[in-house]
Amino acid sequence: MLPTETLSALAAELAEADRTRTTVPRITARHPEATVEDSYAIQGVWRDQNLASGRRLVGRKIGLTSRAMQAATGITEPDYGVIFDDTVWENGSTIPFDRFSNVRIEVELAFLLAEPLKGPHCTLFDVLRATEYVVPALEVLNSHIEMQGRTIVDTIADNAAYGGLVLGGNPVKVEDVDLRWVSALLYKNETIEETGVAAGVLNHPASGVAWLANKLHQHDTHLDAGEIILAGSFTRPMWVERGDSVLCDYGPMGTISCRFL
């Protein structure tokens, strides 16, 4: 692994980039020997510093769960990051565009856990038993690392490119809907841009949550009751600029809207 002082210095760079809404050069351009474990270690240093400063962890995000995105990035498994309380927005919110270095939107389902989930043998059925509600969600992607040439190592170190979360629509019990067939229509400025079906997330969105519980076990932690888990996108990221309005229609599960100003 990279030396401890290097991990800490890179975490400090990312924290400063978040504060100033800028981007830094790719970690892999400066440290081509960096591994995925290095990137999770950088993310962990950054996370712990934020917790020490008073921010509260309320959930996790899972990324790169669709086959298309994995093929595009040359990886074979998803990644994950953390969700802090001050990054969650209500349905219909006006979101400050200047809070981010760049903005992309992904369409997801969020799982609200009623019970803890622990690896190493967590299954889809364990996830369904532990889930209190599933709710529509939009993830705001935000990169603090230059986009050109970015690798999975860069992305994970940057908290898996997580920027924010908008929750909305109608919360449902897992037994009341076939989660594989949840579909969504994503609009920007009243023009439809993306469509998708939740089965695109590892054939079932709960599979991503099971993967995360098992992955966290490798890092000696687990998912707690009350956490919000973003299961992964079933559309491509949609770029957003200042002034854009976003609406996502989940059919029977309702709609989510927000605007970036």
Per residue in 139-181, pLDDT (tens digit) is 999 999 999 998 999 999 999 999 999 999 999 999 999 999 9
User: In 10 A of CB 37, how many CB atoms?
Assistant: 14
Nearest to 108 by CA among 254, 207, 250: 250
Q: Is the peptide bond before 120 cis (omega within 30 degrees of 0)?
A: yes
Q: Output helix, strand, coil percentages for the chain, rounded to the nearest 5.
A: 35, 30, 35
pLDDT at 66 over 90: no
Residue where the block lists tokens 């962890």: 57
User: 259 pairs with which residues across the strands?
Assistant: 94, 245
Cα 142 to Cα 227, 228, 249, distances in angstroms: 21, 19, 23
pLDDT band at 111 (very low <50, low <70, confident <90, very high): very high
Q: Selecting from 3.30.70.260, 1.20.120.1200, 3.90.850.10, 3.40.140.10, what CATH number does the domain 4-260 have? A: 3.90.850.10
Residue the block writes with tokens 């920007």: 188
Compute the distance between CA of residue 66 and CA of residue 234 in angstroms, rounded to an integer.
Answer: 7
What confidence tier does 72 reach under pLDDT thresholds 50, 70, 90? low
pLDDT at 195: 96
DSSP 18: H
- Domains of the chain, by residue range, sit at 4-260
Q: Are 63 and 155 in contact (CB under 8 A)?
A: yes
First CA to last CA distance, the chain: 41
CA distance 130 to 206: 11
Q: Over the stretch 73-106, which tens digit does the pLDDT of each residue have?
A: 667 789 999 999 999 999 999 999 999 999 999 9
Q: At CA 166, angle to CA 100 and CA 149, rounded to 5?
A: 40
pLDDT at 71 over 80: no
The answer to whether residues 34 and 197 touch, using CB atoms and an 8 Å cutoff, is no
